[in-house]
Structure 1
Amino acid sequence: MITPLVSIVILCWNRKEDVLESLRRIRDIEYENIEIIVVDNCSTDGTQIAIEEQFPEVKLIKMFKNIGIEAYNIGFKNAKGKYIVILDDDSFPRRDSIGRMVEKFEEDEKLGVVAFDIRNYYQYDEIINKKIDEIDNNKAIVSNNYIMSFNGAGAGVRSDVFEKVGFYPEEFFLYCNEQDTSFRILDSGYKIQFFYDVVAYHKYSPKNRASWRAPFYYTRNAFWLIWKNYPFYFALRSTIHLMYDCIYHSMEQSTWIYIKAMISAFLYMNQIKGKRKPVQIHIVENLRIPFNLSFTFYK
């Protein structure tokens, strides 16, 4: 099997036990030619010391403060692999997934992103895993009715695609970064494809970990996502709908957070100045963006 270098990039912040477990699982990967990069967003829980002591093979990059998803970009820029695997600090790939991912990329030069099948770590099912081994590795779940983004808890990206379209939108700080990047990848003519046999496990919390950060950044960034990527008519229509939703759900859920996020989007829209590049209409019409997700945290 072809074994080009694969760079695994993880961003962590105050999740010491989770990231340590993820790194232990990564050691079990059945693919030898990998480098592991962990970018720590100035954790205060001992994460940095623990990684240095227990995982000397990891390239640890230490941030001077929490800079959000911009830290991912620092990891991407330091990656030397032909392909980059993006993980959360509480996710890890199935031991055979990296090799399978590489096979997908090597077979299709227009495949820009391999979207992993992200499974709930707390619902691990050995029977399902055994069945996967028996299924045709090259078969993918594909729909002609829509195109898709990817989940940052498990995705593979060609390094040269990142270099061509740019990395994550640093102005977003948190959330919607995968969707924004997907618009640019798809508009450049590359495919984003989901493969059920390329698996990652993610520790979906049994309790909602949402604070004000999630609804605020999801909502604010939804406006910026629209303004950066949608053609004028679609941007105007979607902005009006999103403004209505902010007002409606604020009253419904007795919170000001959506209104604050909407105001912030307008007040600080200079952060996306010069970054607007409308994508092709068929991408807007067919790429599924979960705009309503931001309005579910207080229900």
Structure 2
Amino acid sequence: MTSKHTPDRRAQYTITAPTLRRAHRDTRATVVIITHDRRAELARTLAAMATSPDDMPIIVVDNGSSDGTAHMVERRFPSVTVIRCSENAGAIGRNVAVAQLTTEYVAFCDDDTIWQPGSLRRAADLLDEHDGLGSVTGRCLVEPDLAEDPLTPELRYSPIRGPSWLPGPALLGVMAGLSMFRTRAFREVGGFCERMWLGGEEELLAVDLAEHGWWMCWAEDVIIHHAPSAGRDATRRRQLGIRNALWTLWLRRPASSAVRRGLRIIGSAPRDAATARAVLEALRGAGWVVRHRAVVSDRVEAGLRQLEESQATSPARRYVG
């Protein structure tokens, strides 16, 4: 699958089919996990996901790991398909996996998250029941004390007005590792934008799903546990988050909204070199933004404006790493 947002730069990859082929209990969805140099976290996640009573097929995309991740999966989890990317493709590893799918739905899982028993089936049931539903995002509980993720209030109390048939609060933003998507809808919008790589890359995807007429919702009874990995560069993730948030604004929002919201994002971030580098990175992509800019309809823009206040006060959107 080629992203609609940027010219195709295909990462080289190889696919290792499962050595243990078996019939899965539920083949409506495939679970896709991307990972890079986090073998221990991935092993813990797969130990739970590969034995889940939901029993759906799993694909692991190894984004150029150097710690033996792919070999570990092939040895310890022979029923899992492994895709080895030659480089760290970030979120685009998910696109590579989706290009291989034959299932109607795809559930994304991170290497430090675990969908709880029954949650994959519940998300697939909701998609089965509602043809206009493009994705279902679940409730994230953070280990070890299983407190709700700080993003939860934004999702639970979303001000977006959806149709009466929608089985949960309507969304205009999702978290990839907590969500199951209709494969057709994901492909229709081109998947994740290759240029953004990783870090808030879901925002553009969600806006494009809405623009194509797909609804997204939150489901309280779809539960995912998150054990945040210590193996991440928080400062770089902050830079990517700011850069990608600005790019999403510039690509899809009217000029006045892009400027207003962009200044608020920059103003809420620490006044340091990392924030300055993030803004410079965004500005360097201005030519690409101009070439791919497609302002959303008034309907979607009205929803995005409704979200601005809750996003501005949300602890989950403080770029402070």
| TM-score, normalization by structure 2 | 0.78
- Number of residues of Structure 1 aligned to a counterpart in Structure 2: 274
Q: In 2 relative to 1, CA 57–3 (structure 1 residues): closer, same or farther, beyond 3 Å? A: closer
Q: Partner residue of 2:10?
A: none
CA offset digits 1:82-122 (Å, max 9, x no partner): 01000111111111111111111111111111101111131
Mapped pair 1:114 → 2:136: yes
Mapped pair 1:283 → 2:303: yes
Q: Following the alignment from structure 1 to structure 2, what is the Cα–Cα distance between the partners of residues 21 and 113?
A: 26
Q: Following the alignment from structure 2 to structure 1, what is the Cα–Cα distance between the partners of residues 158 and 36?
A: 38
Where in structure 2 are the equivalents of 1:1-299 lying within 5 Å? 3-32=26-55, 34-124=56-146, 143=157, 145-146=159-160, 147-148=170-171, 149-205=173-229, 209-245=232-268, 249-250=270-271, 255-279=272-296, 280-287=300-307, 290=311, 293=317, 295-297=319-321
Deviation at 1:181, TM superposition (A): 0.6
Q: In 2 relative to 1, CA 123–261 (structure 1 residues): closer, same or farther, beyond 3 Å? A: same
Deviation at 1:7, TM superposition (A): 0.8
Q: Following the alignment from structure 2 to structure 1, what is the Cα–Cα distance between the partners of residues 60 and 254?
A: 37
Which has the higher mean CA deviation after the structures are superposed, 20-29 or 82-91? 20-29
Q: In 2 relative to 1, CA 143–243 (structure 1 residues): closer, same or farther, beyond 3 Å? A: closer
Question: The residue matched to 1:278 in structure 2 has which SS?
Answer: coil
Q: Following the alignment from structure 1 to structure 2, what is the Cα–Cα distance between the partners of residues 4 and 287?
A: 35
Question: The residue matched to 1:116 in structure 2 has which SS?
Answer: strand
The percentage of aligned residue pairs carrying the same residue is 22
Q: Following the alignment from structure 1 to structure 2, what is the Cα–Cα distance between the partners of residues 222 and 285?
A: 15
Q: Following the alignment from structure 1 to structure 2, what is the Cα–Cα distance between the partners of residues 167 and 30?
A: 28
Deviation at 1:188, TM superposition (A): 1.8
Contiguous gaps of at least 5 residues in structure 2 = 1-24, 149-154, 161-169
Say if 2:132 and 2:215, in contact at 8 Å, map to a contact too: yes
Q: CA RMSD in A?
A: 2.5
Q: In 2 relative to 1, CA 290–215 (structure 1 residues): closer, same or farther, beyond 3 Å? A: farther
Deviation at 1:271, TM superposition (A): 3.5
Deviation at 1:172, TM superposition (A): 0.8
Q: In 2 relative to 1, CA 143–191 (structure 1 residues): closer, same or farther, beyond 3 Å? A: farther
Q: In 2 relative to 1, CA 282–290 (structure 1 residues): closer, same or farther, beyond 3 Å? A: same
Say if 1:117 and 1:200, in contact at 8 Å, map to a contact too: yes
Question: The residue matched to 1:51 in structure 2 has which SS?
Answer: helix
Contiguous gaps of at least 5 residues in structure 1 = 129-140
Deviation at 1:30, TM superposition (A): 2.1
Q: In 2 relative to 1, CA 47–234 (structure 1 residues): closer, same or farther, beyond 3 Å? A: same
Say if 1:183 and 1:283, in contact at 8 Å, map to a contact too: no
Deviation at 1:243, TM superposition (A): 4.8
Q: In 2 relative to 1, CA 114–243 (structure 1 residues): closer, same or farther, beyond 3 Å? A: closer
Deviation at 1:270, TM superposition (A): 2.9
Deviation at 1:282, TM superposition (A): 1.4
Deviation at 1:264, TM superposition (A): 1.4
Q: In 2 relative to 1, CA 266–58 (structure 1 residues): closer, same or farther, beyond 3 Å? A: same
Say if 2:158 and 2:307, in contact at 8 Å, map to a contact too: no
Question: The residue matched to 1:179 in structure 2 has which SS?
Answer: helix
